[in-house]
Amino acid sequence: MTIRSQALKHTNLNHGGAKVALVAAAFLLRAGALPAQSSQNGDLTATTTTTLAAPDTSPQHALPPDSITEGTVTVAGKAIAYKAVAGLLRVGGTDTQDAAIRLDGTLLPASESGATPPKAGEEAATATMFYTAYFAKGVDAATRPIVFIYNGGPGSATMYLRMCSFGPVRVELDDLGHPAGGPYKIVPNQDSLLDTADLVFIDAPGTGYGRVMGKDANKAFYGIDQDAGAFQRFIRRFLTKYNRWDSPRFLFGESYGTTRDAVLSAALQHHGVDLNGVVFLSQILSFDDSADGSDGNPGTENGFFLALPSFAATAWFHHKVPNQPAELQPWLHQVEQYALGEYASALLQGSDLDPARKAAVASRLESYTGIPAALWIKANLRLTGGEFAHDLLGDSGDTTGRLDSRWSGPSMNPLDREAQYDPFTEAIESAIEAAMNTYAQSTLKFGQDMTYQPSARMGTWNWDMKHNSPLGGGWSGTFSNVMGDLAYTMKVNPRMHVLLMGGYFDLGTVYFGATYEMKQLPIPASLEKNIEYKFFPTGHMVYVNPQVRADLHERTAQFIRDYENAAQ
């Protein structure tokens, strides 16, 4: 998940005096884990080889030693023995600064690095980044695929994917119910991706057990380009530390992590790292396509018409659609065509839209969403995700979830314009954070006397949304659109494949917006075959549903198997 969005609306990031609408994307979960030898952990075993003390965060000092444990997990009836490594890597705020940092985190002397020694109190910005890596035992590491996995936010830790999706353990969550307070149960994950690839879960700078430090550290790491720079330096350092430069390489990002996917793929390409494949889960590449914030950006209509299919899916799930069809997907295709055609055309007419046509469009919108035509007229045919979530179940006094709109909960104030919280994230985040802390300390043996930070969004934290496309064009430094980065990487590396996945019931990163983005990439038709699609009858965090988690595993595993050979 991500940033904790205030209401279903949008998160406003202030930078340079501008207010930028940002979607909450990552995963707000928390998890509670059990000691390694607990009977509730099934076949999970762990033997500790290293115990850590709290790290010295000074950029002048070495990182604490890694903690290495061992375990087994059974996937599809096959027991997989693995080594787990929990540790920190230090990266620089620029490539030049990074080149002066040894793998143990210490800085090269100025006489070796060529850098000008900093004045006291003006050390260059660096970040420590926490990771957990899982290496299957008894396999050829040189040919074994490796997947780098992260959540989004921006500014979110990767505890959600780590504790709920592909790792060797997961926290048990109800698909549609708010769990009671602890204890939370951590169990072996029968859907672990360790049957197919080695896994590296990476926490963003300033999250997990990692921290940012040095002069202007926030500016050095918190922004579209700065964040991708930190991750590309982390990945290259990791490949060197574990001698994995020859391994087939994949990225797996969720929510804002998909924004990072696009920029990071281009950044790695610039540094000589070809990728075999990139997985986008619950995607947002252009923030003009978000269901949140279009009301603050007049004249940009994408966020309204691209959200309509997700609104319709949500209404269908809650039985609010008049003359509701029996099957969702065939009907959604009809809604999609209407969204791109008559609805988009009507919005683009602006004040020239004929009143009779406006009424006809409002009537059709009511037939798809259950929201009365009169309200659509009052809203000038434009509802944000937060307004829709607040209004759909308004007669019952409830609001739907944002990141999973199948969920619902009591409205904070029935008279509000928008929903003021997300029932879904409030239900699951405590369990995931608790599990992450317990698992790290009790099983991974990492984090004693340290604080696991779920988010970097503290104090005066700001995220720089300015970005320059590698394709050029436009107004320099004004884009919050990274579609050009993905297009660039696909053009220069035509053997890289892309898998887009998501949920129909996601109002945070709408599935039709993600599809639209892929189909609008400025790439030749010959590369369109490199993009594959899969959507599930669930929300933003598709893996919360047990059956969908199994399907997600199978689809991702097949994608890796299909493209781990770069010669294909």
DSSP state letter for 156? B
Give percent of the chain with pLDDT exceeding 90: 75
pTM (whole model) above 0.85:
yes
Of 487, 486, 468, 469, residue with least CA distance to 477: 468
Q: Quote the CA–CA distance of 506 and 254 in Å, as a whole number.
A: 13
The DSSP string of 304-364 is HHTTHHHHHHHHHHTT-STT--S-HHHHHHHHHHHIIIIIHHHHHHGGGS-HHHHHHHHHH
Query: Which pLDDT value is given to residue 12?
Result: 34
Of 22-26, 360-364, 494-498, which gets the smallest average pLDDT? 22-26
Strand pairing of 408-410 and 497-503?
unpaired
* Residue 342 C-beta-side C-alpha neighbours within 13 Å: 13
Distances (CA, A) of 303 to 13, 46, 307, 436, 490: 18, 47, 6, 34, 26
Whether the CA torsion 507, 512, 517, 518 is positive or negative: it is positive
- pLDDT score at 565: 86
- What does the alpha-carbon distance between residue 277 and residue 255 come to, in Å, rounded to a whole number? 17
Residue 350: CB atoms within 10 A of its CB come to: 11
Phi, psi of 532 (to 5 degrees): -120, 155
pLDDT band at 26 (very low <50, low <70, confident <90, very high): very low
Q: 46: exposed, middle or buried (C-beta count within 10 Å: 0-12, 13-18, 19+)? A: buried
Smallest Cα–Cα separation from 415: which of 402, 389, 397, 393?
397
Tens-digit pLDDT profile for residues 116-160: 666 656 688 999 999 999 999 999 998 999 999 999 999 999 999
Q: For residue 1, is pLDDT > 50?
A: no
pLDDT of residue 394: 85
In this predicted model, which residue has the larger pLDDT, 397 or 306? 306
Domains in the chain with CATH codes: 22-51+66-96+126-287+428-563 (3.40.50.1820), 289-424 (no CATH)
Q: What is the mean pLDDT of the chain?
A: 87
Q: Give CA–CA dist 497/568, Å, rounded.
A: 10
C-beta of residue 508 within 8 angstroms of C-beta of residue 538: no
